[in-house]
Structure 1
Amino acid sequence: MSLPFTPVKNQGNESLCWAYAMLATIETEHICRGDSVNLSPYYIKRLVGKQRQRGMGHSLLRLMANKGIVPFDTYPDSTHDQLPLPQWVFMLGARYTPQEFAHSVCGPEEYMAVTSDPTQPYGKRIVADYPDNWERETFLNVPQDSLVAIVLRALHHRHPVCWEGDISNSGFSFRSGIADHTTSSRPDDDHCMTIIGLARHPNGRLFFKMKNSWGTDNPYGGMVYMSQEYLRCCTVALYLTREAYLGK
């Protein structure tokens, strides 16, 4: 199964996977509700600049809440970087500020963050100790075995999930479009993608369909198929709506 999604984008040499993946999650969430939206990562890039491009999913949510967001068509590429930032968003005959538009596509506290740290108490909110969590955001700590179940529950109720995890191991290959790794180790906060579907290998193994942000030059048009073993071992964090977490 696959949830609908906007066209695959390409972050190029920017360290903004967290922005691309979280925006893609919000986009698919809205499409599944019958409300098509395509958001501009270049607007976020302009806000962030070159000083601090590292971040996590919550970094994008905080930027949207404070600085707003615009549709992709309003700021479609980096050639707009020499122009003033858009002051207005025009949508369905109405005029919004970027902040008002952001609030219309992502409400406060709509999304929650989940992690798995066996050294910390489960069921509690903890500060995930990763370099990209420079904002010291807290996450709901769950057992590692719960990660796959959380994603499956969300997908079965037609909700995407923003995934952050480790792709530095040999099991990940964008060129082949496969992430399959079963060695357990403490993951690093290395990359973000959006989980938008499921696929089953002829041998019966389950894989998650991941929307990446490195363009479309691989066998699956820019998608990566990640085994549930890889997801279980290499996940740093999951971002999903509270409804998705509860299976609604």
Structure 2
Amino acid sequence: MNKNILCGLLLLLSGQVFSQKYNFQTVKDIEATPVTAQENTGTCWSFSSTSFLEAEIIRASGKKLDLSEMYNVKINYLDKADNYVMRQGKAQFGEGGLNHDVINSAAQKGLALQSDFSGKLNPEDKYDHSKMVVELEEILKKAVAETPLKYPNWKTDYSDVLNRYMGKSDGVKTISPKELAATYKINLNDYVTITSFTHQPMYTQFILNIPDNYSNGFFYNVPLDEFVSNIDYAIERGFTVALDSDVSEKTFSAKNGVAVIPEKEEDTEKCITEIKPEMKITPEFRQAEFENYNTTDDHLMHIVGKARDQKGNVYYKVKNSWGTKSGIDGYVYMSVPYLKLKAISVLVHKDALLPKTKEALKL
């Protein structure tokens, strides 16, 4: 065979071996509700948590519900306002929140169906809280500046803004925690948040000091490999997982539906379309990235399964809340290294934890 032809064939084959496009094969797919869109709002935390609870209801009772994300949002906006004013403005206020905020609001005020509370005045409108948040914050800052004594009607003004943008929620039919347990087999006390950071002792409960943890929710700390093993164990047993993660990396591609951490910096652009070797993530590197603000709690999503590419690399199938035109039909395939480095925490049913973890945490 001509030497030039042979070289050409070898180059072609090497390109096929080392530059393969992603081809995901399902390993585990857990039933969940369809992808929805948070649109122009910072309410991913409610979309993530609500999707998670819908999947939990399917798993526990076999029933399918379309729960209202915005009912949870409105309840939390009221709680955030009290927290901000009582702390004299020395507290986080904004659109963000965490998974446990929905669990807390559901325990206090129940859950509503989407058909009973859409969070829109006109069902055809898109969600857009940009102006609403500005108006709410102005009221809170005024209440702090003047003191509630001199501005006694601040709560009424604040609620009026919420009602004007989201609709009235007073009198909305809700699913109470008691009904949730009796009819849908969901006990809201059964859910825990686990994480992995080295600045706190392992197997202890602590308040993670991130901006959106306005409600001072507790996190259980476990070693990094055990953190990942618990996620795997949950998925294998048919439990989905609510995820809080950083998505600011260039290698989190909403367009391509892929999230990876390449081993080599020069692969940053290529790795969102082609399989490339990934970095080995240590607890020390994870901690450093958190402490230097390269890892922040940007976005919350919902892990509903696992997949492999043609090289055997494992990915988590993550349901996003940016609509079906984002990613792969609304899903992102997140590699294990990406999750190890960029996952802030996960919310899981305590029975989805590894027995050794459950025992160590005394759950």
Normalization by structure 2: what TM-score?
Answer: 0.62
SS at match of 1:73: coil
Question: Which stretch of the first structure deviates more once superposed, 224-233 or 45-54?
Answer: 45-54
Q: Where is the helix percentage greater, Structure 1 or Structure 2?
A: 2
Which of 182, 204, 226 aligns to 1:146? It is: 226
Per mean C-alpha deviation after superposition, the further-off stretch among 104-113 and 48-57 is 48-57
Q: What CA distance in whole angstroms lies between the structure 1 residues aligned with 2:327 and 2:250?
A: 18
Deviation of 1:219 after TM superposition, in Å, equals 4.9
- Percent of paired sites with the same residue: 28
In terms of fraction of residues, the more strand-rich structure is 1
Residue 15 of structure 1, aligned match among 39, 42, 55: 42
Q: Output the aligned Cα RMSD.
A: 2.3
Structure 2 residue 158 is the aligned partner of structure 1 residue 131: no
Give 1:37's aligned amino acid. L
Q: Report the TM-score when normalising by structure 1.
A: 0.89
Question: Does the Cα contact within 8 Å between 1:65 and 1:103 map onto a contact in 2?
Answer: no
Equivalent pairs, count: 242
Unpaired runs of at least 5, structure 2: 1-27, 82-93, 123-162, 262-278, 359-363
The answer to whether the aligner puts 1:178 opposite 2:227 as a matched pair is no
Q: How far off is 1:119 after superposition?
A: 1.5
Aligned-residue offset at 1:11:
0.6
Q: CA shift at 1:220, angstroms?
A: 1.6
Structure 1 unaligned segments of length 5 or more: list them: 90-95
How is 1:173-212 mapped onto 2 (pairs within 5 angstroms)? 173-181=253-261, 182=279, 184=285, 185-186=289-290, 187-212=295-320
> Of 225, 229, 240, which aligns to 2:337?
229
Aligned to 1:42: 70
Residue 40 (structure 1) shift: 0.6
Deviation at 1:170, TM superposition (A): 1.2
Q: Give the match for residue 85 of structure 1.
A: 169
Structure 1: how far apart are the matches of 2:176 and 2:112? 6
Moved more, 65-74 or 120-129: 65-74
Q: Which residue of 2 aligns with 1:111?
A: 191
Larger Rg: 2
Change (3 A) 1:118 1:97: closer
Distance 1:78 1:101 in 2: 26
1:2 aligns with 2:14: no
CA 1:76–1:150 in structure 2 vs 1: closer, same or farther (change >3 Å)? Answer: same
Corresponding residue to 2:323 among 204, 215, 238: 215
